[in-house]
Amino acid sequence: MLVSTPVRVALATGVTCCLGATAVTAARHDEQAPPPRVTEALTDRALAAQEKAASRALDRSPTPAPASASPTPSPTAKPSPSPTKATKKAPATPTRPRPVAGLTQAQMDNAKAIVDVGVEMKIPRQGLVIAVATAMQESTLLNYASGVLPESQNYPHQAIGWDHDSVGLFQQRPSSGWGSVRDLMRPEYAARAFYEALLKVPGWQQMSLTLAAQAVQISAFPYAYAQHEQRAGTVVAALL
């Protein structure tokens, strides 16, 4: 069959358009899909990266050992030090003063109690000497209980006297308002009671030792305290 020229032109044009569209579609498909070799290379890299990541993950989180198996320490791991127990130090034992001026250890200990209380109360050195000299005269620096007061013998004591109800280092009498028997048998309490009474004596620092002591003690032998002044000074100097 014969085809006219216009029809031939139309058919040729249509075939040309179809071929052009097909070429464009193929070109776009070729641009989007990577070449086979590139795809294979990317796949190899991805697998290598996954293997490497898996290896780090194993290093960070090791598989725990079964409960029945005991853990095996790493040969390079250093054993952690065991906690050391804190050692409790025993409290230091206070040193006892060395006796001076012919005193025994018990007498020196009592003198120290008198001086320590005076230092705590900020008593001048002269007052410390007066207190020690007074105790030397009253009790020879021994803590006396009283045979008249059986209660006094229930407390620590170093001798027993019979001078009314006088007790302790300063032979203070509970019946005269110095304190209870229990308190007066404590050297620290007895010393504090003496110092408090001494501080109430007007002008005691300008008095002689014997007059200041007598103002506190009101003793039947007011001048007996003076004989202990030098020894008391030596004891106080050793304790300060």
Digit-coded pLDDT (tens) for 2-16: 444 443 433 334 434
Report d(CA 60, CA 53) in Å as an integer: 11
Output the pTM of the full model: 0.62
Higher pLDDT, 132 or 28: 132
pLDDT at 205 over 80: yes
- Nearest to residue 117, comparing CAs of 190, 168, 177? 190
pLDDT value at residue 193: 98
Please indicate, yes or no, whether residues 34 and 142 belong to a single structural domain of this protein. Answer: no
User: % helix / strand / coil in the chain, to the nearest 5?
Assistant: 55, 5, 40
The pLDDT tens digits of the residues spanning 8-54 come to 433 334 434 333 443 434 344 444 444 444 444 444 554 444 444 43
pLDDT value at residue 94: 72
The pLDDT tens digits of the residues spanning 53-91 come to 433 333 334 444 444 444 454 555 555 555 555 556 766
Find the mean pLDDT for residues 142-160: 97
Q: pLDDT confidence of 175, banded at 50, 70, 90?
A: very high
Asked whether residue 95 is domain-assigned, the answer is no
Whether 111 and 126 have beta carbons less than 8 Å apart is answered as no
145 membership: H or E segment, kind and range? strand 144-146
pLDDT value at residue 76: 53
Strand-strand pairing, 144-146 and 159-161 = parallel
Whether 167 and 144 have beta carbons less than 8 Å apart is answered as yes
Q: What is the CA radius of gyration of the chain?
A: 54
Asked whether residue 234 is domain-assigned, the answer is yes
Asked whether residue 69 is domain-assigned, the answer is no
Tokens, residue 208 = 């002689």
Asked whether residue 59 is domain-assigned, the answer is no
Please indicate, yes or no, whether residues 36 and 140 belong to a single structural domain of this protein. Answer: no
pLDDT value at residue 83: 52
Asked whether residue 25 is domain-assigned, the answer is yes
In degrees and rounded to multiples of 5, residue 194 shows phi and psi of: -65, -45
pLDDT at 219 over 80: yes
Please indicate, yes or no, whether residues 112 and 231 belong to a single structural domain of this protein. Answer: yes
pLDDT value at residue 104: 97
Please indicate, yes or no, whether residues 133 and 42 belong to a single structural domain of this protein. Answer: no
Report d(CA 14, CA 150) in Å as an integer: 144
Asked whether residue 70 is domain-assigned, the answer is no
pLDDT at 127 over 80: yes
In the DSSP assignment, the letter for residue 204 is G
Number of domains in the chain: 2
Amino acid letter, 109:
D
Find the mean pLDDT for residues 160-185: 97
Tokens, residue 52 = 């490497």
Q: Which residues pair with 159 in a beta bridge?
A: 144
Asked whether residue 53 is domain-assigned, the answer is no
Whether 231 and 222 have beta carbons less than 8 Å apart is answered as no
Q: Which domain holds residue 40?
A: 8-47
Please indicate, yes or no, whether residues 41 and 113 belong to a single structural domain of this protein. Answer: no
In the DSSP assignment, the letter for residue 95 is P
Asked whether residue 79 is domain-assigned, the answer is no
Q: pLDDT confidence of 95, banded at 50, 70, 90?
A: confident
First to last CA, the chain: 148
Q: Is 202 left (phi over 0), alpha (psi -120 to 50) or beta?
A: beta
